[in-house]
Amino acid sequence: MTVFRKVLIANRGEIAVRIIRTLHEMGIGAVAVYSDADRAALHVRMADQAMPLGPAAASESYLRIDKVIDAAKRSGADAIHPGYGFLSENADFRQACDDAGIVFIGPPASAMRSMGSKTAAREKMAAAGVPITPGGSANTVEEALATAERVGYPVMLKAAMGGGGKGMRLVHHASELGHNLERAQSEALRSFGNGTVYIEKAIVNPRHVEIQVLGDQHGNIVHLFERDCSIQRRHQKVVEETPCPVATPELVAKMGEVSVRGAAAVGYFSAGTFEFLLGEDGSFYFLEMNTRLQVEHPITEWITGVDLVREMVLVAAGENRGYRQEDITRRGAAIECRVYAEDPQTGFLPSPGTIEALRSPNGAWVRDDGGYYAGAEVPSHYDPQIAKLSVWGPTREQALRRMRRALSEYVVTGIRTNLAFHQKLLDHPEFQKGKYDTGFIDRFRAELLGYANLDSHDEERIAAAIALAVHHESREPKFGFDASATAVSPWVHHHRARTLGS
């Protein structure tokens, strides 16, 4: 049954391609939008219709609510799927869709607003019985010092209105708090337009574990188990897997139960994710809720057989999906590696440019959600993710073997990638044993990246460069590094002896 005639995807790259594929399987027309930088992009080529948004800068294209709504009206789209990033968690965008009579494929604006502020979300979840980390306000240095003294050091400064690792600072002593608070507030204001920062107790050696929830508009809400997202660089995920290697079924069931309860408390429907810190003692604490589809959703689809994009579409159409927890089962293990146009050996600096050759892995139980093709340009204006590679296996060991095989087949030339980094990571004996936490990459930096550490000046230059690339403020990124002068991986696959990945 066709629930919508035509859906506009308010996004780009690999997630736009992924959504287009499900829409086509459902018999629904797909409308792409594109900036000047994406005129020849893969998602534009795959869509049934494409609408221009304007200049390359996201602030003038993908982030312009008025332009996206106008494109949907002009294309005759019945609904809009926001993907992730850009406007996907913007309650004003959701409201604009409602006002224009266009269905938004996602949660209600009220739920997005409830969970959009991390401080307000913590209060909501605490009231619903969801465990939260001790914390409090940090609007001034005096207030921050009082909060930190109450919860105990170390503490984490966090931006109230954002994520992705921006506006975050780990503080071990009171003497460090004032300087780090100023930096966190400045970065939060620059990244999210809001400099509000709060404090949470820092959990020592935590794992980052999240629960996928799914609900319809008739009050049926379930969870689709957990994903371990602990492998991160600068608080941004690079590898995810399910099941979590250290979580018992009883623990997952408990985390799932509180997540469903939290979703119900804000009237949530559609796909969403509750993120938790998991302590070494099995205690877990609410971090935030992502009111959208997650980058790592394929591994949940692998183990459950549920197409989350399809479910989002059907829920948005108002179908009573009749979700029941006892009907949701899991099978096997799945792993995802995020493939980025970046150079791990220069602190994961973005590496935009033209892809000269591209060969994606395939074979049984291998899925490559890519957004580019040979000859395509990876722009400097947007997030440098070019694909997400995921695999399934009946056991974790077999899934690991399959991922290592798939990575060995992956070829991208013309730009630097993190493919070789993924190879090293999956080869690491501690990762193979499932013994890792959010500090894993920093702890084994020399083995994984080829250098022991960066000084504080280099760290700040890298952070500024990443912010510049991700937030699309410049056509020519000024990274301040000579990438050509850095050491490169010996893992080479190129007919012209160019380096592949690093």
| Structural domain contains residue 43 | yes
Residue 24 sits in a domain of what CATH number?
A: 3.40.50.20
Same domain (yes/no): 222, 307: yes
Position 111 scores a pLDDT of 96
Instruction: State how far the Cα of 70 lies from the Cα of 170, in Å rounded to an integer.
Output: 43
In a domain, 365, yes or no: yes
pLDDT (0 to 100) of residue 4: 97
The partner residues of 249 in beta bridges, in order of sequence, read none
Q: What's the CA gap between 337 and 418, in Å, rounded?
A: 10
CA angle 138, 141, 147 (to 5 degrees): 45
Is 368 inside any structural domain? yes
Query: SS3 for 495?
Result: coil
Check residue 70 and report its DSSP letter.
Answer: H
- Please say which residue of 151, 184, 201 terminates a domain: 201
Crossing angle for the helix pair 177-192 and 456-470, to the nearest 10 degrees:
20
| 321: helix, strand or coil | coil
Stated as kind and residue range, the H or E segment containing 158 is: strand 155-159
Q: Is residue 266, in this structure, part of any structural domain at all?
A: yes
The tally of domains found in the chain comes to 4
One domain, residues 236 and 383: no
**Is 1 a member of any domain?**
no
404-408 long-range contacts, Cβ below 8 Å, gap at least 24?
A: 405/361, 405/363, 406/361, 406/363, 406/366, 406/368, 407/337, 407/361, 408/361
Claim to verify: residue 195 and residue 264 sit in the same structural domain: no
Give the domain range for residue 155: 134-201
Q: Are residues 115 and 221 in the same domain?
A: yes
Give the CATH number for residue 150.
Answer: 3.30.1490.20
Last residue of a domain, one of 279, 297, 331: 331
pLDDT of 167: 87
373 lies in the same domain as 245: no
Q: State the pTM of this model.
A: 0.85
What's 348's domain CATH number?
Answer: 3.30.470.20
E-only strand ranges, 165-265: 169-171, 197-201, 207-215, 221-233, 236-242
One pLDDT digit (tens) per residue for the chain, 502 residues: 468 999 999 999 999 999 999 999 999 999 999 999 999 999 999 999 999 999 999 999 999 999 999 999 999 999 999 999 999 999 999 999 999 999 999 999 999 999 988 888 989 999 999 999 889 999 999 999 999 999 999 999 999 887 767 889 999 999 999 999 999 999 999 888 899 999 999 888 999 999 999 999 999 999 999 999 999 998 899 999 999 999 999 999 999 999 999 999 999 999 999 999 999 989 999 999 999 999 999 999 999 999 999 999 999 999 999 999 999 999 999 999 999 999 998 889 999 999 999 999 999 999 999 999 999 999 999 999 999 999 999 999 999 999 999 999 999 999 999 999 999 999 999 999 999 999 999 999 999 997 665 554 455 555 555 555 444 433 333 323 233 233 333 233 333 223 333 3
Query: Are 365 and 502 within one domain?
Result: yes
pLDDT value of position 364: 97
Query: Do 113 and 216 lie in a common domain?
Result: yes
Q: Which of 85, 69, 84, 87 is closest to 31 using CA atoms?
A: 69
Same domain, 293 and 391: no
* 96 and 69 in a common domain: yes
Domain annotation covers residue 309:
yes
Catalytic residues: 292
Query: Distance between CA atoms of 136 and 132, rounded to whole angstroms?
Result: 11
Helix (H) or strand (E) holding 312: helix 308-316
Residues 258 and 121 in one domain: yes
Together in a domain, 188 and 149: yes
321 and 469 part of one domain: no
Residue among 356, 352, 354, 355 nearest 381 (CA) = 352
Is the distance from CB of 212 to CB of 304 less than 8 angstroms? no
Domain boundary among 306, 331, 356: 331
Sheet of 197-201: strand order equals 135-137, 197-201, 155-159, 169-171
Q: What is the pLDDT of residue 204?
A: 84
